[in-house]
Amino acid sequence: MKKNNKRENKIKFETKLKYYEIEYLVEHTTFKEKEIKNTQVHNLVKKLTSKASPTYKDKFNKKWSYFYLPLKRSGYLITIPLTIIEYKKEFFVGLHHLGNLHIKKGKEKIEKEYKTIFKETLRFISLIKKTKNEILKKTIPYDLRTGKIKGKYIMEKLMSKKEKILLCYERHLKKQLRISQISLNEYLEVAALCYQAAYGKKTKNLSPFKMYKKWADGRDGEMLSIKNWNSKEEFMNWQKSSGWGGAHPFEIVFSWHSHGIHLYPPYEENPYYSLWVTNYTYARDFIKMVKALIKKKISFHAIGLKEVVDYLSGETYFTVNDYNNHVFHYIPSKEYKDLYFCYIEWDKIEIPKWK
C-alpha cells in the first residue's frame, strides 16, 4: 500500500546536509563572519555564481539574491536562502538566519561540509528549474520566510480613539505657543510633568531633580553642574557649549535598547520643547506625556506623534522574521497558523535570473 503523503511523493531529493550541521559550521555568527581560506571552496562559490546573473552590481561588487541550499530538518526537506556578494575577488555568503561565511583563496584545511554546502546548492538548481520554482514554495519553512503583518493582529492591547489625541494636538499647535529661554529648574519642572503623567504614584514625594535622576539616562553632560539653576543665561550658555557632546542630558527616560524618550529644551531656532520616543516600548508613556503637556499648555512639539499613534492603534506593519524596529517571529505551529497566518503578507520568493 502506498503512503498517503503528498509531500514525500512530490519531493524526491535526498540532501546530504542537516540543518544543525549548518548551525555548527557557521558557529551561530549571525552578525560576524566565519572566515574560510580555501581555494576549492572559493572555486565552488565562483561556479555557483556563474549559473545566474547578479541581482545587483556596481564597479566595486556583485550580489546574488538568492540561491537555495537544501537541508534536512526534523525529517523533512527544507531550503534556506543563500546570498552571495563578490568583492575584490572574495566572497561573502549569508546563510539566512544562521550566519555568514567569508571565503578567500588559500590552502587552509577545512571540514568537507563547507564544500558540500555549495555542491548541494549547485545540485539543487536543476530541481528548481524542473519544478518551475514550485519546489521553493513547498520547502522554504515559514519561520524562515519574510513578510509583514499589521500590529492589530498581534498586539494584545490597542489604543482606542486615536483621532482624539491627534485632534487635541492639532488644536494645541494652532495656538502657536512660544518660549524663548528657560532655566535648568524650568526644564526639570517640565520634565517632572512628563514623569508624573507617565509614572503616577511612583513620582510621589520626589522633587523634579530626583525624578530626573531616577529615570533619565544619567549622562547629563555636566548639565546638573550649572551653578545657578534659576539662571536662563547660564542654561543657554551651557546649551551652546560643545562640552556635552556625546552625552544624553535630554533623554529623560533611559532605554538599554536604542533610546527611550527625549525632551529637548527650546532653542533660538525652535522656540518650543521637543518630545519624542525612539523605543516604542515606551510609546504609551510618551502619549501620556503628550496629553499632560497639552493640558498644561506647554509650548512643545511631539515629534512623530502620528507614527506612534498608528503603532499603538495597530496600523503599523511589523516585519515577519526580519530585522526591524517592529518584528514578529512566526513559529510553525498550529496555534500560530490559526491565529496569524491568514493576516501575514508574505514576501515574494526571489529567484535568480539563470544564465
What's the confidence (pLDDT) of residue 246?
84
62 alpha-carbon distance from chain centroid: 25
Contact yes or no for 330/322 (Cβ under 8 A): no
| 0.85 surpassed by pTM | no
Domain boundaries, the chain: 6-141, 162-312
Which regions in the chain score pLDDT beneath 70? 1-11, 27-31
Q: Convert the pLDDT of each residue in 161-177 to its tens digit.
A: 888 999 999 999 999 99
Contact partners, residue 142, CB within 8 Å, separation at least 6: 330, 332, 341, 346
DSSP state of 93: E
Q: Which residues of 177-205 are buried (b: 16+ CB within 10 A; e: fewer)?
A: eeeebbbbbbbbebbbbbbbbbbeeebee
Strands across the sheet with 99-104, in order?
34-37, 99-104, 90-95, 76-87, 61-73, 56-57
Coil vs helix vs strand at 302: strand
Q: Convert the pLDDT of each residue in 226-255 to its tens digit.
A: 999 999 999 999 998 877 888 999 999 999
CA dihedral 185, 186, 189, 193 (to 10 degrees): -160
User: Backbone dihedral region of 161: left (phi > 0), alpha (psi from -120 to 50 degrees) or beta?
Assistant: left
> In the chain, which ranges are continuous DSSP H helix?
6-10, 19-25, 39-49, 113-130, 134-139, 162-174, 184-199, 208-215, 232-240, 283-295, 305-312, 334-340
Residue type at 11?
Answer: I
